[in-house]
């Protein structure tokens, strides 16, 4: 089936982790924020696999494994990364990992520290399982966009790169589909030898 796009289709898992949102106490804002940002940032045809689940480690682990097995090239989670007793997203993510990618968490905290001193309390991690990159993102929609896009000055020049700039090349290296970003939202970085053209 033709998608009308020269870029390969990509399946992305988006997971919002919250006891209260998953039980209907309040409306989940994580999944719409993730889906909206990815739809703006990527030129590929996207298929989303959304999940809204409670802060339960076994449930999070099972969900992440299922999304990898469903063929998601990328899985983004939001919520459950602070120091509160019910925050277990990083533990669940590390439990299903084949490789840890600490640079993502380091950069997310660096970006968030430009806005709030409590960024040092966040425990986001990123890992690889099989051929899938899994990244924990902050819980607030505004913080999700900031960490993915990075910081720009008043002239729109990139001051601190967002983490998504490194995501497409990482997915290349683990054998996933070629992700093409919209440079107006997020300029992906690849070595010249890794850049492909589509028409």
- Tell whether 199 is covered by a domain: no
Report the number of distinct structural domains present in the chain: 1
- Average pLDDT for 10-31: 96
DSSP calls for 84-142: STT--HHHHHHHT-SEE-HHHHHHHHHHHHTT-GGGGG----EEEETTEEEEEE-SSHH
pTM more than 0.85: yes
Is 19 part of a structural domain of the chain? yes
Give domain status of residue 5, yes or no.
Answer: no
Taking all residues of the chain, what is their mean pLDDT, rounded to a whole number? Answer: 95
Does position 141 have pLDDT exceeding 60, yes or no? yes
d(CA 81, CA 40): 25
- The residues, ordered by sequence, that sit 6+ positions from 35 with a Cβ below 8 Å of its Cβ are 14, 48, 50
Residue 2 lies in a domain: no
Full residue range of the structural domain in which residue 170 is found: 10-194
Q: Which two tokens stand for residue 154?
A: 């008043």
Residue 108 is part of a domain; what is its CATH number? 3.40.980.10
Write the DSSP string, 165-190.
GGHHHHHHHTT-----B-TTT-----
Average pLDDT of 58-83?
A: 98
The candidate with the shortest Cα–Cα distance to 93, out of 189, 181, 13, is: 13
**199 CA to centre of own chain:** 27
Average pLDDT over residues 175-188: 95
The verdict on residue 167 lying in a domain is yes
Is 165 inside any structural domain? yes
């Amino acid at each position: 089936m033709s998608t009308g796009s020269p870029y390969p289709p990509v399946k992305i898992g988006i997971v919002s982790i919250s006891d209260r949102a998953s039980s209907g106490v309040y409306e989940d804002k994580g999944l719409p924020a993730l889906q909206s940002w990815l739809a703006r940032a990527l030129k590929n045809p996207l298929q989303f696999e959304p999940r809204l689940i409670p802060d339960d480690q076994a449930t999070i682990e099972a969900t992440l494994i299922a999304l990898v097995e469903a063929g998601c090239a990328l899985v983004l989670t939001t919520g459950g990364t602070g120091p509160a007793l019910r925050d277990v997203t990083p533990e669940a993510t590390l439990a299903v990992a084949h490789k840890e990618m600490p640079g993502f968490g380091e950069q997310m905290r660096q970006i968030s520290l430009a806005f709030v001193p409590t960024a040092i309390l966040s425990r986001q991690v990123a890992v690889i399982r099989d051929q899938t990159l899994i990244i924990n993102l902050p819980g607030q929609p505004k913080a999700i966009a900031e960490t993915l896009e990075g910081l720009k000055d008043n002239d729109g020049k990139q001051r601190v790169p967002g983490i998504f700039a490194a995501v497409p090349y990482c997915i290349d290296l683990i054998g996933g589909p070629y992700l093409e970003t919209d440079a107006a939202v997020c300029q992906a970085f690849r070595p010249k030898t890794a850049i492909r053209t589509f028409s």
